[in-house]
Amino acid sequence: MPDGKYGEITTEFKDIPKEEPVFLLRAQDKIACIALMEYARAYKDYSGDMDGYARLLRIVSEFDAWPKKKLPD
């Protein structure tokens, strides 16, 4: 389902059905790291997958290091 702001979101490696809702976070979003950290914690708690948790923490770190930050539109 296309987003009203960004339009259709496509992926390189796996297909997302057009009718499936998708939520996009950008590194410039000042509150994205908070949301991603909560997601990482929930992922760890529900899955027990420490490798996946570490991968998510790396993504949080990359977001945190992004130099330009602003509140979402």
Residue 33 CB burial class (10 angstroms; 0-12, 13-18, ≥19): buried
The least confident of 2-11, 45-54, 62-71 is: 2-11
Question: What are the tens digits of pLDDT across the range 14-53?
Answer: 888 888 888 889 999 999 999 999 999 999 999 999 999 9
Give this prediction's pTM: 0.81
In the chain, where the domains are located = 32-65
What does each C-alpha distance from 28 to 7, 35, 37, 46, 68 come to in angstroms?
19, 13, 15, 28, 6
